[in-house]
Every structure is written in structure tokens, then in C-alpha cells.
Structure 1
């Protein structure tokens, strides 16, 4: 299978947008990490009991975990953009394949994350319904 000039153009444009989105994602991850270090201090200054019994360190840990999870698909997206641009610059079929593999990894990770969140929300709805029934 060969790529038409139009297909190459579309892939190269997608790679440029992927790089832009990945850079914005890396900036957001940096902000999450910075926030993870300051949120504990901010939460510790709140009145006793306002956090519902949660430790301020929990929020710091939560932000670090969120940054770590967010890093994976952003890194895959960045690799896709870089490898696709490099593949066209060097006319290298292997780099094109590697770039497309990273795009697949990006979407696979996002898909699995969506499934996890759907199951989590479903369980929360069930727990809420059982809690409401128990209170009635």
C-alpha cells in the first residue's frame, strides 16, 4: 500500500497538531505537578473538618497520580507527531510505522481509561442508589 500525496499531507498536518496538543499537555502536566506541591499547603490552611476527613497530603498525592496518568497519552501523542514528521523528512517507512504505532498506543490508552471511568461511574451510581434505598 502506498500513500497518496493528499494522505501524506493529512498525516503531516495531523502530526503538527499532535505536537501542539502534546506540548500543551506537557505544560498542563507541569502545572499539575506544581499544584501537587502547593495544594497540600493550601488545604492544610482550611478549617478543621472542611476536607471531610481527608488529609491534605491525599490531595498532593492525587495531583501527582493524575499528572502521571496524563503523561502517558501525552507522551504517545508527542512521539506520534515527532516520528511522523521525521518519517516524511527522511522518507523512512519504519519511522512512519513507529509513529502510527504510537498513535494507536495513544488511543488504546485513552480507550482503556474511558472504560475504567465508565465502570467507576456505574459503580458510584449503584452505590448511590443502594445508599438512597438504605436511607429510605
Structure 2
């Protein structure tokens, strides 16, 4: 009689105890980072709202850059930071649940949220690189134009 291993089924992934420990530790750090980030985003949103309110009440001007425009940019940045942090938070929760209950669907969900987190961060990085390249090109064109 031949003994069959639990890992003999091709196309079926098994998660070892060591992998579960690694995933559990990663989920713990993801939870910490996401909660800390979400708290900081909430503080940033509170600062933006209070600055907009104070600016509207006081009527002070900040020169060429209006304070309202700057605060709206900070508000948009807080909104951009929210989504990857939220996906990271969801990843950590689903990973903990998958490990605790050996739930394959929760494991799939957790990796789906991790994928969404990294996709969002990757797109933001691509956009920022494009902005940096355009800014450097504008500076180079401006420098060459001032020479001639």
C-alpha cells in the first residue's frame, strides 16, 4: 500500500504551519501600520477641515498660494492615503480570520485585498514618477530657454 502525501495533488496549494506563522506575523504588522496610518489620515483630515474653517472665518490670505487651495490639496492627499491603508487593514483582518479558522475563502479574500493595496500604491508611484519626470523636463526646457 502506497502512502499519499497531502501535497500530492497538483494545482492545490497547502499552507504549512510555518507559512501560517509568517502570515500571522505579517498580518499583525499590517494591522499596526494600517491603524496608525488611518489615525494619521484622520488627523490630517481634521487639520484640513479646521484650517479651511479658520481661513473662511478669518479671511486671511497667504499670498500667491491661496490657503484654501493648499488645504484642498492636503485633503486630496489624505483621501489618496486612505484607500491603500484601508485595503491593508482589510488584508490583516482576513488573514487573521483565515489562520484562526483555516478558511480558504478568507485566505483568498486577504490576498485579494493585499493585491488591491499594492496595485493602488503602484499606480500612485507611477503617477508620481511621471509628475517628477515632467517637472524635470520643464526645468530643463526652462534652463535651456534662458540660455538662448
TM over 0.5: yes
Number of matched pairs: 132
SS in structure 2 at match of 1:135: helix
Aligned: 1:26 with 2:38 = yes
Mapped to 2, the partners of 1:134 and 1:118 lie a distance apart of 24
Mapped to 2, the partners of 1:126 and 1:39 lie a distance apart of 34
Aligned: 1:16 with 2:17 = no
Provide the aligned C-alpha RMSD in A: 1.7
CA shift at 1:38, angstroms? 3.4
Gaps of 5+ in 2: 1-12
Aligned: 1:117 with 2:128 = yes
Mapped to 2, the partners of 1:118 and 1:60 lie a distance apart of 23
* More helix by percentage: 1
Shift >3 Å, 4+ stretches? 38-42
SS in structure 2 at match of 1:3: coil
Mapped to 2, the partners of 1:14 and 1:33 lie a distance apart of 28
Mapped to 1, the partners of 2:17 and 2:102 lie a distance apart of 13
Aligned: 1:55 with 2:62 = no
CA shift at 1:117, angstroms? 0.6
Point out the structure with max Rg over C-alpha.
2
